[in-house]
Amino acid sequence: MSNTNNISKLYPQLHTQTKQRNMDKKTAQSDRYTTYSSSDNGPREFQTAKNTANVGKQIENSINEILASIQLTQDKIPILAEKIKAFSGADLDAYVTSERESKQLEEEILMITKEIYQANFKEGVNVDRFRRGMVFLFGLIGLIAGGVV
């Protein structure tokens, strides 16, 4: 699940649990109570507070992943732009003096691009429908162009 979907799903849950926690806080008596069960999860107030903290932590982790991907992108884009400019030949003499260096530059561009992509699209992008649609579109254009000629 993407981070934005995760946050959208968890935020209403956090809001509800926070209200419940505030109500339970009024009825909390003590941090100890007697139970005769070995599998007791503790007072209801404690369980509510623990669940609220867990949801809050999940939201925090999702937000931190988003911020980390933005920071990585900000750091890598200038480097990537410089390498692409060098690879395209605009400043070829300044950076590339041999075929081997050109190949190395190409690999660095791909590596940085993949790193940025993986940070920003952790589940990837579904391109299946796009490809099928493009095949149909270009096929139709080919039929029309063939009929015109």
Q: What's the confidence (pLDDT) of residue 60? A: 92
Give the 3-state DSSP-derived string for 26-45, with helices as H, strands as E and coil as C: HHCCCCCCCCCCCCCCCCHH
Residues 88/97, Cβ–Cβ less than 8 Å:
no
pLDDT band at residue 148 using 50, 70 and 90 as cut-offs = low
User: What would the mean pLDDT of 127-144 be, rounded to a whole number?
Assistant: 71
List pLDDT tens digits, range 91-109.
555 555 567 777 888 889 9
Q: What is the mean pLDDT of the chain?
A: 79
**How far apart are the two ends of the chain, measured CA to CA in Å?**
49
Residue appearing with tokens 């109500």: 23
User: Which of 12-21, 42-51, 75-84 has the least mean pLDDT?
Assistant: 42-51
Q: What's the confidence (pLDDT) of residue 93? A: 58
The pLDDT > 90 percentage for the chain reads: 13
pLDDT band at residue 75 using 50, 70 and 90 as cut-offs = very high
Report the C-alpha gap between 84 and 106 in whole angstroms: 8
Residue appearing with tokens 């009024």: 26
pLDDT at 149 over 60: no
**Best CA proximity match to 29, nearest among 13, 15, 16, 44:** 44
Instruction: Please tell me which residue, 63 or 27, carries the higher pLDDT value.
Output: 63
